[in-house]
Structure 1
Amino acid sequence: MRFALSCIALALASPAWAAPAHVHGEARLEIAVDGNTLAIHLETPLDGLLGFERAPRSPAERQAVTAMRTTLEQPDRLFRIVPEAGCEAQAPQLESPIFEGSAGDGHLDLDADYRWQCARPSALRGIDTTLFAEFPRLKRIEVEFVGPAGQRSGRLTPARPRFAW
């Protein structure tokens, strides 16, 4: 219940997140620490991950979608969490029309939800991401954070892939 309230508070605290813009090369992360749970929501146009945002048209594009999904299904590969926190990743939830076979020729996005259960959440002071290394078309990530000490926001870039709180 507290996690749901934290997410609602995060959404209400930043009206711009109510209707995010579709900007190529940009992603958004919502990070919440609630009790023993660390949750991250990633939202981004597929262009920043694939170089296209429509149904794949060739075997190479279908392979790119498969490779992207495989990478996104590995939370510990994408987000570096201090071992002292004792966090164990749960299975991520990925959503995009490109995975469902309903992708057309429009501007497609991806939503991914990651969750960890942490034995010592008080050890969490920040997170590093390898999203820029894994997906070089990403140029910046806007971050919103809510946790026991309050709310913060920031921007990650390939040169600054760490968000601290």
Structure 2
Amino acid sequence: MKFYLILFYLLFISIICPLSHASDFTAHIHGEAELMIAIDKNVVEIELIAPAASILGFEHQATTEQEIKRVNEAKKLLKRQANIIQFSESTCESHHAEIDTGELLVNGHHHHEKNSHEHSHSISHFEIAVHMAMECQRGEALGAVSIKLFQHFAGLERIRLLWATSTEQGSVILTPQNSEISF
């Protein structure tokens, strides 16, 4: 399903967005994040990419105990689906959550959730990436979706949301005042 998200993302940018603005879409802008939602029957996958500053308030390797604690607390929050997204018409259960903090944690602090010997080259060192797969009771009839990230991360001002189902796709900019969409 991760392939489906990546394919959707690339196709959306290359076909829907004007070519002159495609590179702006993936720019690393503090206060912003990108969230992609792919829905295929009862399976929902989400991918979140955010500058560390948007989530943590800083964008350098965590060196103090307070910074290390902040990174670990953010990872713990991002592992729970209810802290990221809630659906009004369906109950979903997370089957897989992967949080990549890049090189934010060093000196013996484990920075990858799935394999400590693996090094991610897919994101820059000071971004946080979350991939989550969920099984939903009524995946194709999710109704309204509420994004909960703004409640947990004060540095987050805008989320660029891309979404796709088997029958439609779209995009929207979400803010703390407007954090719900309907499918």
Is this a same-fold pair by TM over 0.5? yes
* Aligned amino acid, residue 164 of structure 2: V
Does residue 50 (structure 1) correspond to residue 56 (structure 2)? The answer is: yes
* Aligned amino acid, residue 97 of structure 2: P
- How much does 1:86 deviate? 3.2
5+ unaligned residues in a row in structure 1: which ranges? none
Assess if the C-alpha contact under 8 Å between 2:62 and 2:105 holds in 1. no
Task: Give the distance between the partners of 2:62 and 2:105, measured in 1 at CA.
Answer: 12
Residue 122 of structure 1: which of 132, 136, 140 is its match? Answer: 140
The DSSP-based 3-state class of the residue aligned with 1:62 is: helix
1:2-81 matches, cutoff 5 A: 4-5=3-4, 7-15=6-14, 16=22, 20-81=26-87
- In the TM superposition, structure 1's runs of 4+ consecutive aligned residues that sit over 3 Å from their partners are 3-7
**Aligned equivalent of 1:156:** 174
5+ unaligned residues in a row in structure 2: which ranges? 15-21, 112-123
* Aligned amino acid, residue 126 of structure 2: L
Assess if the C-alpha contact under 8 Å between 2:161 and 2:171 holds in 1. yes
- How much does 1:114 deviate? 1.3
Greater alpha carbon shift after TM alignment, 135-144 vs 14-23:
14-23
Task: Give the distance between the partners of 2:142 and 2:148, measured in 1 at CA.
Answer: 18
**Aligned equivalent of 2:117:** none
Root-mean-square deviation over aligned CA pairs: 2.4
Task: Give the distance between the partners of 1:158 and 1:52, measured in 2 at CA.
Answer: 20
**Aligned equivalent of 2:155:** 137
Q: Percent identity?
A: 27
Alignment coverage as a number of residue pairs = 161
1:101-147 deviations in Å (ceiling 9; x for gaps): 289xx861011011111222232123111111100110000011110
Assess if the C-alpha contact under 8 Å between 2:5 and 2:36 holds in 1. no
The DSSP-based 3-state class of the residue aligned with 2:34 is: strand
* Aligned amino acid, residue 90 of structure 1: H
